Amino acid sequence: MKIIVCNDYDAMSNHACEVVKEHLAKFPDALISFPGGDTPLGFFRAFVKAVNAGEIDISCAKYVSLDEWVGLGIEDEGSCGHFNDVNLLKPLKKSFAKTHIIDGKASDIITERDKLDGFIETYGVIGVSVLGIGLNGHVGFNEEGTAPGSNAHIIDLAPTTRQVMKKYFGDKFSPTQGITQGMGQILAAHKVILMANGAHKAEILKKALHGSVTPEVPASLLQNHPNLYVITDKTAST
């Protein structure tokens, strides 16, 4: 694992973008996956800027979103799909070769889960999986106790996740489940970038990177990944 501690949030975001840029320069047709949440906002900005400036070519690349709140779709402010739409897909002046944004509002959520598996399977494996970390150590919606080999699944949200989610949409929505890429799909990615910023992430990050490898702290399973980049700001690394 490579741990890169950056001076601040912007440096963290730019560094993560550089790693994705390098990967796409070598593997232009890779499948890439980014998370939702607050952490990747600056990374999305850097990525969009680089693509629009012609520094990253996404014309052969494929994109898949990481997770979604069950019951929320792309038009729902605060959802992961909305975040992807507003911060990635709309500002991009060029398109990915293929894009799959998980629809948490699908009338048949099991079929939606299968579509997510199908999309990933079509391209074999994720090239770069960019991740944030939840305060309970979740990645995507792989909550405590997640099976390390899992594919896409629907999961009951952990109490911590249900508390934290208010920052995205207040009391407007109260989802109880999430739909997510599975830990097995994340761990199979050629490269994983885990980003964390802010002092509130320091404790869980330490546990994830230096504590025991256990499904009880899903991000700790990443310790076994052969090509893991942990990119943080200073406050999250202390």
Residue 143 catalytic? yes
Smallest separation, CB 142 to ligand GLP (Å): 9
Residue linked to tokens 């009338």: 107
Q: Are 12 and 197 in contact (CB under 8 A)?
A: yes
Q: Has 77 been annotated as catalytic?
A: no
Among the listed residues 14, 15, 23, 67, the single catalytic one is 67
**Residue 147 and residue 183: Cα distance in Å, rounded?**
7
Closest distance to ligand GLP from the beta carbon of 1 (Å): 18
Q: How far is the CB of 51 from ligand GLP (least distance, A)?
A: 21
The catalytic position among 82, 138, 153, 225 is 138
Query: Shortest CA distance to 31 belongs to which of 149, 125, 152?
Result: 125
Active site (annotated) includes residue 153? no
Q: Decide whether 17 or 66 has the Cβ nearer to ligand GLP.
A: 66
Binders in 165-224 for ligand GLP, by CB under 6 A: none
Please select the residue that binds ligand GLP; options are 13, 14, 33, 39, rule is CB under 6 A. 39
77 binds ligand GLP (CB under 6 A): no
Positive/negative CA dihedral, 203, 230, 49, 96: negative
Nearer to ligand GLP, 127 or 132 (CB): 132
Please enumerate in sequence order all residues whose Cβ is within 8 A of that of 113, keeping only pairs 6 or more positions apart, or say none. 152, 153, 154, 179
- Which residues have a Cβ under 8 Å from the Cβ of 7 and sit 6 or more positions away? 233, 234
Backbone angles phi, psi at 137, to 5 degrees: 90, 10
Indicate the angle between helix axes 9-26 and 41-52, nearest 10 degrees: 50
9, 47, 141, 229: which one binds ligand GLP (CB under 6 A): 141
Give the per-residue contact string, 18-37, with ligand GLP (x = CB under 6 A; - = no): -----------------xxx
38 classed as catalytic: no
Which lies closer to ligand GLP via its Cβ, residue 38 or residue 203?
38
Q: How far is the C-alpha of 160 from the C-alpha of 53, rounded, in Å?
A: 39
By CB under 6 A, name the binding residues for ligand GLP: 35-39, 66-67, 132, 134, 140-141, 161
Q: Which residues are catalytic?
A: 67, 136, 138, 143
